[in-house]
Structure 1
Amino acid sequence: MTSPVTREAPVTVRVFTQRFSSTPRGARLARRLTLHQLDRWRIPYGSEASDTAALLVAELAANAVTHGRVPGRDFELTLSYTPGLRLRIDVSDTRGERRPAATTRGPLDEGGRGLLLVEALASRWAVLDRVPVGKTVRAELDLVVP
């Protein structure tokens, strides 16, 4: 007796990794290069997935620059794209002792809502330890095949 063979389409995961200076300019560049890379992967500018990814990268990069900055150290952006399935955004910095958490804020508070935005936009998000030092904030978007 033979078991039936099912064929699955091969999956290629595309990865983009870049380090940026821990400055506001580095955070802006991370967002711009994300949009460019997604367009190269055929996720066009202005699409829902592209706009959502840009917001997530902007927030995570701004947090890395503001709260995870260590003088002389860069932050790192990694995009992992599984076509038609998932986009993973990892932003890593070298400050492991300052772990972010989504918290509710009062209506007059001026800051602290960034991770609430990440939580609302991402399918999943987490804070991971980075070896040998630091942390990685990961946000994932589940993609819908048109």
Structure 2
Amino acid sequence: MNQESTQLPAPARHFSVLLSPTPRGARLARLLAAEWLRTWELPYGTAGDAAHIVAELAANAATHGRLAGRDFLLALRVDGGVLRIEVTDTRGDELPRPQAPSTDSASGRGLLLVEALATRWGVTPGPVPRKTVWAELGVPPAELPHSHG
């Protein structure tokens, strides 16, 4: 009798999707990222921080990087001990800058949150008319699933 081992395919080490630059697209970015992170079985703290970063970067793309008819790209990648989050929009002329909002402002703290949660973050311009805002989180090797290599 021939027995075959049944194994589920390992989740991809990368994920990307084009989304509409709307509040709905930003919410979908967070939900899709959270599901992808769940398949990697990353620790709750790392996955939660990453989901918050995705939410902030996607909201910025939908609010400040929006051009009619042009989607934004969400990309997630695990490489070694680093989780990289990238959001690319079509407003390369609008570079994000973290700044303290006024005390009575209900918004404007997103990049401060990204700065606090990420190991490092930045902006890569181009190709015209795009820019990519990225953030990286360290994931200790002991917390990376061994079966997903």
Alignment TM class, shorter chain as reference: 0.7 to 0.9
Structure 1 Cα separation of the partners of residues 125 and 65 of structure 2: 13
TM-score (norm 1): 0.84
Alignment of 1:90 with 2:86, yes or no, is: yes
Q: Specify which of 98, 119, 122 is matched with residue 102 of structure 1.
A: 98
Give the share of equivalent positions with the same residue, in percent.
Answer: 50
What secondary structure, in the 3-state scheme, does the structure 1 residue paired with 2:113 have? Answer: helix
What secondary structure, in the 3-state scheme, does the structure 2 residue paired with 1:68 have? Answer: coil
Structure 2 Cα separation of the partners of residues 98 and 132 of structure 1: 12
Q: Return the offset for 1:71.
A: 0.4
Structure 2 Cα separation of the partners of residues 41 and 49 of structure 1: 11
C-alpha RMSD of the superposition: 1.5
1:20–1:75: 8 Å Cα contact kept in structure 2? yes
Structure 2 Cα separation of the partners of residues 120 and 48 of structure 1: 13
What secondary structure, in the 3-state scheme, does the structure 2 residue paired with 1:136 have? Answer: strand
Q: Return the offset for 1:133.
A: 2.2
What secondary structure, in the 3-state scheme, does the structure 2 residue paired with 1:56 have? Answer: helix
Structure 1 Cα separation of the partners of residues 106 and 24 of structure 2: 22
Q: Which residue does the alignment assign to 2:15?
A: 16
Q: Which residue does the alignment assign to 2:31?
A: 32
Alignment of 1:79 with 2:76, yes or no, is: yes
TM-score (norm 2): 0.82
Alignment of 1:69 with 2:66, yes or no, is: yes
1:92–1:136: 8 Å Cα contact kept in structure 2? yes
2:88–2:130: 8 Å Cα contact kept in structure 1? yes
Structure 1 Cα separation of the partners of residues 72 and 57 of structure 2: 10
Report Cα offsets for 1:20-67 as digits up to 9, x if no partner. Answer: 0111111111111101111222226xx111111110000000000000
1:128–1:136: 8 Å Cα contact kept in structure 2? yes
User: Would you say how many aligned residue pairs link Structure 1 and Structure 2?
Assistant: 131
Alignment of 1:56 with 2:53, yes or no, is: yes
Alignment of 1:116 with 2:112, yes or no, is: yes
For structure 2, the 5+ residue unaligned runs are 1-11, 144-149
Structure 2 Cα separation of the partners of residues 41 and 110 of structure 1: 34
Q: Specify which of 126, 130, 133 is matched with residue 126 of structure 2.
A: 130
Q: Which residue does the alignment assign to 1:8?
A: none
Structure 1 Cα separation of the partners of residues 137 and 37 of structure 2: 13
